[in-house]
Amino acid sequence: MGRLVMKFGGTSVANIDRIRNVARHVKREVDAGHDVAVVVSAMAGKTNELVEWCRDASPMHDAREYDAIVASGEQVTSGLLSIVLQGMGIQARSWQGWQIPIRTSDAHASARILEIDGAEIIHRFKDRQEVAVIAGFQGINPQTNRVTTLGRGGSDTSAVAIAAAIRADRCDIYTDVDGVYTTDPRVVPKARRLDKIAFEDMLELASQGAKVLQVRSVELGMVHNMPVFVRSSFDKPEDIDPHGTPPGTLICSEEEIMESHVVTGIAFSKDEAQISVRQIEDKPGVAAAIFGPLAEANINVDMIVQNVSEDGKTTDLTFTVPASDYARARDTISSAKAKIGYARLDSATDVAKVSVIGSGMRSHAGVAAQAFTALAGRNINIRAITTSEIKFSVLIDAAYTELAVRTLHTLYGLDQT
């Protein structure tokens, strides 16, 4: 017997038939003697519909009311799954974030979890053998008593946080893919599913464009050392041995992985924009004059490159921002032109970021140099480079994204089984 958290995303609960399929997965684990908490997302497309309703009602809507509206999608799913489970003879009840409670900050639409009281859920495991069906993506701010949401993909974060709160043995993330791959299989057909991946590597993959898990869910797993298992909800529930290990990827501490490869995977993101501030006077305080206003506008800056301008007397500063923040970032820099003192503002939206990730880079030299040589051999120009201990990223023209990913995937032997 063990204690599990099972999380199901929007495609897994897209309609009543799929909710019945989810219920069979839950029943399998209950019949095996496990205590089970289930975290569900809204049905596929429902959150987008609710967001559009808010925008139609008013483009400048109240963020508190926005959260009250978009949180309702998960409420519906949790209730429906509870009804189906009860119809199968399983004791179950739905829980909203405020009922547990999941206490969060007051940053509506992007709240952070502060604490979760899992005592009542644990009590009901012991006293009633009851399955807890929990609405993901939401919580409550204790000061305002208002419903909050955790941002898109927040149900992953809910699931890992609840797993830590109820001291679960594992958190299973059921999704429409059967694990974490070395890169996107739609781009590289030879991409391989990883049996295990370290929290640090998964954190980098998620933050650099891999869409399997929300970044904050991986952070929580690492902080609480909570094993997270990514698996497919479309495997037939009756074909899975609840005491065995089904196909999927275990995200765990690095110590649990016997053999660490130099490169674990390749991530990429086309949702990037590049901005270059030209001919700035090279003096203290200029960088602060540029990035200070961007920070105040909550615009996240990623890659930063500084070099001498063409005139040899001033400097150019180039950086990237999410494509969704591109217009605001340009406006913010333009508004601060008098304070910054630049000659010209250049920008590009047809760029992509390709990242190479692997804990093994710590002990291997020349990994990045190999990539630069291979990309040059394909006539792929690198606009900017950033590095960290276990990752490096290059900014390239978006048209070369797939070619770059395939080239690097082969270069580091990730094609090989």
What are the pLDDT digits (tens) for 403-416?
A: 999 999 999 999 87
* Residue spans of beta strands (DSSP E) within 137-264: 138-141, 146-149, 170-175, 196-198, 228-232, 249-252
How far is 157 from 134, CA to CA, in rounded Å?
13
Confidence at residue 389, expressed as pLDDT on a 0 to 100 scale: 87
Architecture of domain 3-256: 3-Layer(aba) Sandwich (3.40)
Q: Which residues contact 338 (CB under 8 A, 6 or more apart)?
A: none
The answer to whether 9 is annotated as binding is: yes
Judge whether 3-256 and 266-411 match in fold.
no
The answer to whether 175 is annotated as binding is: yes
Q: How big is the CA angle at 12 (ends 8 and 14), to the nearest 5 degrees?
A: 125
Q: Is 209 helix (H, G, I), strand (E, B) or coil?
A: coil
How far is 361 from 217, CA to CA, in rounded Å?
24
How far is 334 from 250, CA to CA, in rounded Å?
46
The answer to whether 400 is annotated as binding is: no
Confidence at residue 206, expressed as pLDDT on a 0 to 100 scale: 87
> Residue 123 is encoded by which pair of tokens?
């009590």
Confidence at residue 361, expressed as pLDDT on a 0 to 100 scale: 87
pTM of the model: 0.86
Nearest Cα to 25, choosing from 169, 319, 232? Answer: 232
Confidence at residue 417, expressed as pLDDT on a 0 to 100 scale: 60
**φ, ψ dihedrals at 312, nearest 5°:** 75, 0
Task: Encode pLDDT of 103-151 as tens digits.
Answer: 999 999 989 999 999 999 999 999 999 999 999 999 999 999 999 999 8
Q: Which residues contact 371 (CB under 8 A, 6 or more apart)?
A: 356, 392, 394, 408, 411
> Residue 8 is encoded by which pair of tokens?
């199901």
> Residue 161 is encoded by which pair of tokens?
């946080």
How far is 158 from 161, CA to CA, in rounded Å?
5
Q: Percent of the chain, pLDDT > 90? A: 73
How far is 160 from 165, CA to CA, in rounded Å?
9
Find out whether 280 and 340 touch, Cβ atoms under 8 Å.
Answer: yes
The answer to whether 181 is annotated as binding is: yes
Which class is domain 266-411? alpha beta
The answer to whether 7 is annotated as binding is: yes
Chain centre to alpha carbon of residue 347: 27
pLDDT < 70 regions, the chain? 1, 258-260, 309, 417
Chain centre to alpha carbon of residue 384: 24
Confidence at residue 286, expressed as pLDDT on a 0 to 100 scale: 84
Domain boundaries, given as residue ranges, for the chain: 3-256, 266-411
